[in-house]
Structure 1
């Protein structure tokens, strides 16, 4: 028997969104800014955002941790795919809406992670 969908089941997708966003900031954002000719903007970000350089230096552990969090989020989403919603119509609508929102958050996180991973590890070899 599956457990009902709760706020706790949204924790993993939301956490994975923040983790994958950090991979996007560390790797895809610099490549995008330099590609469109905004290197000065990138230099401004690097000098004015505290911890940004450290984040880019730690890209391998960042991607490993983000990948683990995304994997956990996908697992929890898969595990709760047949979780029942309440019988009350208002609660059922809220449950279905939360299920859709958590799915959107999860797949946006996966897309951000893949984009960041491409720019962090493959773009320099393929594009230069």
Structure 2
């Protein structure tokens, strides 16, 4: 199954910071981690982080982590991992799965939801990644 297909089964999962369990709780990284477990097994990245991670780890922490573990994608496609800015002027701090004209993500006010991939959201894309292990060179 593809990441976007699997992610739809997570819709309705409540938002719980640091959690990664379908139907029980997830944040944006928890959703990605849970999908990774379903497809590949244990995730290679840590899931233990504080709510103020961007202050302690730096504003580019999420982009550095994505670059470390995932291969970059040249274009948007269903199943691609999207690294997003929550506001145009802020560093990237949100993860989602592209589902064609929509994207699936977890956020504090709604849990895991499917949202339209509108032009304002497209403008906030800071990175695209294949949802696959990075091959060592």
TM-score above 0.5 = no
TM-score, normalization by structure 1: 0.21
The structure with the largest alpha-carbon Rg is 1
The structure that is helix-richer by fraction is: 1
TM-score, normalization by structure 2: 0.20
Say which structure, 1 or 2, has more relative contact order (CA 8 Å, 6+ apart).
Answer: 1
